Structure 1
């Protein structure tokens, strides 16, 4: 005889011999350690800049350093409290990139002040204080997203509403008068008194990614339906091309109304990648590339500003004193930096127009060299791969598509910006995430990272345990008869011998 309680314990094998309960590590200790390393690197870079530019250490070093430490210590506490199982490497990667950006912006402020003093002009207002203020606002939004967004799947319920708001934000600068929306020929801004300018398109990028992910979750089976086969591929049906056609028309509209080549390319590529991720059909990629080629040819033939960008890309030195000056100076600067760089604070990145925003990558390349740029790209790669890893690990389809879209949007923006600065592709006017000067991009990207951290928290958190059934005392446990198999075989053998 054996009790049911004993047999249940024998089959479950619930606890190890030591009796210790296993717990899933949160990774917050690793995150704190990596944030400490980022703080050390940022502080060391600030010291080098101060030493090379001012030949002494000023109070600006204390201001920037303390602001950096306090802000990311609070961000770490927010993640520890609100998303304890979130990926431990995303926030340190963002912190290091933001710190390097603050260092270079401060370095360019010092150069501008020295130049103004040399020319006997008034010292211009620095950009480091506004950038720290935008960082504070970005981290506040970061914490608010983590606090209110406890489950990313809630966003799927409001997909169409979010998409409509994203389209309004995207189109708003193009519909406003040029006096409050146009900067350097592109209508991307909304200038507000006392607040400077904001780019609604940076926030529209996140909202439209949520809409595309929610839409593709609902229409995934429809878009995956096999159409006609051609050369071994299953082509989608004509009526299923509506999402891709709408994205293409939206991209062309951005290019026409706002003259923004970068955002146009970013949104179309985002839709194309999400379509491929949702359907796993290569035909979507091929059709999308055909749409892109047709749109590129049409844009070049119809729009003069696109022709100018292409001509500068092909030969910036043919009009070096005009349109090619910015790209030419950037190439000269990176060439001067070489492999090891001139040293932080020891170059002349201030000769490049918009050195702290559109061309901050060339500024860093001059003073940090190829080695420094490679290190920055590795940090970006860590951020992107951890986002894609969260997409693979999360269990729901909406989370997979949303994390993939957000991670790809960061990767695409990096490719477009660095490709333009290094003369791989035409210039687009986008800014590097977390590095470049600018409030809209910084704040929006902190919200983007908060959503990725929420998805990674859901993916890495342990599944809830089912409550164990109460065990009955041994004296009250029911019993049952158990007959051993060998006893049955022995009885059968004795029966055979008696018959014989």
Structure 2
């Protein structure tokens, strides 16, 4: 059966959800409705529907991962517009560019066959991005992770996450000459921990946690020396203790995680307002436009999950968690069905990024783990995050198509 026909019913459900949600936005802002509202409504519906239709025509891979992400994007942009119409319009622009980059990444993976031979380039690119951040970066919320180019802020670490996956895939499933180097896995571990060390210098500990999680997961699956896994866990423990002792903002986050209530008016304000918002929403939410997401600092970014849970309800929050679980599940399924070793590892690594990052940020706003300052992929406001997440998804889409058993590219 044609994949486009298979995806027709989910596309219709997605279309229905967008129409109903946007209708609530129209009702909320009926008295002072602006042109931006029409642009958001028409632009979002057309962009999502047309991109799904186009993907169903050109790809024979797993097109459901894009549908899952479109649902997450729709929830996110509707909530962002509700909080700030200007940010909602900007997010629609970033979303358009992100989807264009999704197709560009998909075609690059589909038609270029030498990705597994570029280990030195991945290594140099990673160090270059770190150097660029340390030299040109500005400090935001305690971390040096943003650089501004021609008025546009970019977060190089978002790109480096994808490069890391390709580096690990090239080592474990690409060119064999690197695996045959004596103590090659030790050298790889040194390289990865040098990345994590540079992230410590930037004080970007949330991204460092993602690097560690992806590396540990792939190392556990593909490493031949199990002692290195224990060494990795030991180093991570030492690094976590060192981060707590060295960085003031880490100690603050741990303190507010353990007991934020004595600090409700200062350093515990953000997490307590997050918990208040989620409890205020109940199961079905206060309704779009009837909550107070502005009470939470950065409600459109780090804490968008709390804002959504307040106005759309805990059931919607549970739905977001399930969508991420489905995305990671289908990513793992792609990896298991992929015969090519390189692309199998790429699919695993990207799925791990989505899973780890979503767990870290949702766990943080629910006070399950300390806050880290990451964005919720595809849902939170942010240009670099949206674009790089779609690039990663395009790579996963390309990896979902069957390839030969060879370890490099399509070979």
TM-score (norm 2): 0.91
Over 3 Å counting, the alpha-carbon distance change for 1:32 and 1:162 in structure 2 is: farther
Gaps of 5+ in 2: 405-411
Residue 409 of structure 2 is matched in structure 1 by none
Question: Which moves more between the two structures, 138-147 or 386-395?
Answer: 138-147
How far residue 174 of structure 1 moved from its aligned partner, in angstroms, is: 1.9
How far residue 26 of structure 1 moved from its aligned partner, in angstroms, is: 4.6
Rg (Cα) greater in structure: 1
Aligned-partner Cα distance in 2 for 1:133–1:379 = 23
Residue 140 of structure 2 is matched in structure 1 by 183
Q: Does 1:168 align with 2:168?
A: no
Contact preservation (8 Å) 2:155, 2:384: yes
Question: Which moves more between the two structures, 208-217 or 307-316?
Answer: 307-316
2:197 corresponds to which of 240, 249, 252: 252
Gaps of 5+ in 1: 1-24, 111-125, 226-236, 461-500
Question: Tell me, what secondary structure is at the counterpart of 1:132?
Answer: helix
1:168-224 Cα distance to aligned partner (Å, 9 max, x none): 223422222xxx5222221111123343x1111111111111011101225889979
Residue 345 of structure 1 is matched in structure 2 by 289
1:199 corresponds to which of 152, 155, 158: 155
Question: Which moves more between the two structures, 309-318 or 162-171?
Answer: 162-171
1:400-431 Cα distance to aligned partner (Å, 9 max, x none): 11100010011010011111111111111110
How far residue 240 of structure 1 moved from its aligned partner, in angstroms, is: 4.1
Residue 92 of structure 2 is matched in structure 1 by 132
Q: Does 1:243 align with 2:199?
A: no
1:93 corresponds to which of 68, 76, 94: 68
Over 3 Å counting, the alpha-carbon distance change for 1:146 and 1:315 in structure 2 is: same
Residue 39 of structure 1 is matched in structure 2 by 15
The two structures, once aligned, show a CA RMSD in angstroms of 2.5
2:334 corresponds to which of 352, 376, 390: 390
Question: Tell me, what secondary structure is at the counterpart of 2:7?
Answer: helix
Aligned-partner Cα distance in 1 for 2:228–2:19 = 47
Question: Which moves more between the two structures, 74-83 or 166-175?
Answer: 74-83
How far residue 28 of structure 1 moved from its aligned partner, in angstroms, is: 2.3
Aligned-partner Cα distance in 2 for 1:386–1:47 = 32
> Number of residues paired by the alignment?
404
Residue 407 of structure 2 is matched in structure 1 by none
Over 3 Å counting, the alpha-carbon distance change for 1:239 and 1:214 in structure 2 is: closer
Aligned-partner Cα distance in 2 for 1:273–1:348 = 39
Contact preservation (8 Å) 2:73, 2:378: yes
How far residue 393 of structure 1 moved from its aligned partner, in angstroms, is: 0.5
Residue 305 of structure 2 is matched in structure 1 by 361
More helix by share: 2
1:20-55 Cα distance to aligned partner (Å, 9 max, x none): xxxxx4522222332232122122112123323546
Contact preservation (8 Å) 2:130, 2:198: no
Contact preservation (8 Å) 1:309, 1:427: yes
